[in-house]
Amino acid sequence: DLAGIARFAGNNGLTSIIDNTFPTPVNFRPHEAGFDLVCHSATKALNGHSDIVAGVVTGSAELVEQARSCIKLYGGSLDPHAGYLLARGLKTLALRVRQQNANATATARFLEGHPQIAEVAYPGLESHPDHARAAELFDGFGSMLAFRPADGVEACERLFKRLELPYVAPSLGGVETLITRPATTSHVGMSPEARAAAGIRDDLVRLSLGIEAAEDLIADFDQALVTA
Ligand SMILES: *Cc1c(COP(=O)(O)O)cnc(C)c1O
């Protein structure tokens, strides 16, 4: 209940802050829901081309000035070329995110109907427990999905070797589709027990959809998901 959280903070003298990296402002605008500060990893979809490391914070001039003071003290500042790349990337943000929404929806549907896939998690699928909530909150369901092959970790590794379009790499939100196994990348620092409690099994695959043609992505998964 994001609007409820922002309202609670406002009524109790708290500053509400939300990380909007995954939805991007194309799919969700937290200030409209009442949040005071919104941060994004601009490394991801805002830049969109996987070639800078940057961040963004938006809000009232007064609050953003406080963040600016911290940045001055900590010393992290964007070099001009990275700033130029981010400004250029932003111009196509809406086009890229709409294509990513469409690619993720098409790929999720394809994977959900495939006999060698045990489970697909994407809020755009009617089968997702939070589908109705996501449809209410967001203008699009985003670029990220997760799935588990029916045949475990070995099937994951086989799939990664056979896929021709997705890069096996972390990060997300770029123009190219990226595929990883969180147990060995983003969540490798957690204990196996903590991962299990969070629903991150060893055979869970994370996919960040890029802007390729959906039919090319589906054809690639179709050829890569052959048995043995
Ligand atoms: C990647 C990421 C970050 C960290 O951003 P960097 O630009 O890599 O430092 C923060 N929040 C979310 C949700 C992210 O995906």
Query: Using CA atoms, how far apart are residues 221 and 14, in angstroms rounded to an integer?
Result: 47
What is the reported pTM?
Answer: 0.94
Q: How many CA atoms lie within 13 A of 46 on its CB side?
A: 20
Burial class (CB in 10 A: 0-12, 13-18, 19+), 74: exposed
Please tell me the distance between residue 225's alpha carbon and the centre of ligand 1 in angstroms. 31
Q: How many domains does the chain have?
A: 2
Do 107 and 68 share a structural domain?
Answer: no
Q: Are residues 218 and 131 in the same domain?
A: yes
Closest alpha carbon to 181 in 148, 204, 210:
204
CATH number at residue 48: 3.40.640.10
Query: Is the distance from the beta carbon of residue 43 to the nearest atom of ligand 1 less than 6 Å?
Result: yes
Tell me which of 44, 53, 78, 143 to substitute to probe ligand 1's pocket, judged by most ligand atoms within 8 Å of the beta carbon.
44
Q: What is the pLDDT along the chain (228 residues), one digit of tens a residue?
A: 999 999 999 999 999 999 999 999 999 999 999 999 999 999 999 999 999 999 999 999 999 999 999 988 998 889 999 999 999 999 999 999 999 999 999 999 999 999 999 999 999 999 999 999 999 999 999 999 999 999 999 999 999 999 999 999 999 999 999 999 999 999 999 999 999 999 999 999 999 999 999 999 999 999 999 875
Domain with 78 in it: 2-90
Task: Give the contacts of 144 (CB within 8 A, at least 6 positions apart).
Answer: 22, 104, 122, 172, 206, 207, 208, 209
